[in-house]
A and B are shown apart, each in its own frame.
Chain A
Amino acid sequence: QSALTQPASVSGSPGQSITISCTGTSSDVGAYNYVSWYQHHPGKAPKLMIYGVSNRPSGVSNRFSGSKSGNTASLTISGLQAEDEADYYCSSYASSSTPWVFGGGTKLTVL
């Protein structure tokens, strides 16, 4: 069981927007603004899409945005495109013996 809770799957049609939630606790997501999101295409290395809750690394499309409220962080992808179909993982810094925790991953299907 992963430390952070994500929905197993979400789907949307091209052009639509979707949001993936990531629920943690007051010891991780709720405690720090160090939530990041990763896009993972099978067979490839994960790619950083959002860091520090809502910041985009250089080169990442502005269709990707992040936010946080309390113990829940969210990733929103607007204007869905076929190439967005992938697994998405959230991660947070945590004040525990395991400083980095991940969510179980969400499979995004673009219909």
Chain B
Amino acid sequence: QVHLVQSGAEVKKPGASVKVSCKASGYTFTSYDINWVRQATGQGLEWMGWMSRNSGKTGYAPKFQGRVAMTRDTSISTAYMDLSSLRSEDTAVYYCVVGYSYGFSFDYWGQGTLVTVSS
């Protein structure tokens, strides 16, 4: 059974950075891409970027380019999403997501990590 377990809630000040982790289990970590999706307060879902299963190559939504970095540690089957220069609009629940069983869709989601940006 696929499980994605994310790190706990964070409170950050504007201008700071946050690093969210996502530990995968139940499948071969390097066999599936990992995507990151967020839901800002009162907003809809928003795709942030992805990391290739094979090479670890990343691709980011233009909105986050320059502020986001997605990395991984394959030895512990864990992916990371680093978001810098935080502002209040970044207050959101961040999800790591995997498309495992069905092509071009996301069937496994982490439980979400609430990041609150407040002075």
Contact = CB atoms under 8 A, between A and B. Distances in A.
B84 to A, nearest CB: 20
B64 to A, nearest CB: 10
Nearest to B45: A102
B102 A52 contact: yes
Most buried by B among A55, A98, A105: A98
A52 B103 contact: yes
Contacts of B103: 34, 51-52
Interface string A1-42: 010000000000000000000000000000010101010100
A105 B44 CA distance: 6
A55 B102 contact: yes
Interface in A73-106: 89, 91, 93, 97-105
Given A36-B106, A48-B106, A52-B104, A2 B44 contact: yes
Nearest to B95: A45
Contacts of A105: 44-45
Nearest to B102: A51
Contact of A104 (B44, B59, B62): B44
Contact of A97 (B35, B50, B62, B101): B62
A51 B104 contact: yes
Interface stretch (B11-19, B24-32, B73-81, B109-117): B109-117
B105 A45 contact: no
Contacts of A89: 44-45
Contact of A57 (B45, B50, B62, B107): B107
A36 B47 contact: no
A73 to B, nearest CB: 13
Given A36-B104, A51-B102, A101 B112 contact: no
B115 to A, nearest CB: 16
Contacts of A101: 47
Contact of B44 (A36, A99, A103): A103
A47 B102 CA distance: 13
Contacts of B50: 99-100
Contacts of B61: 97-98
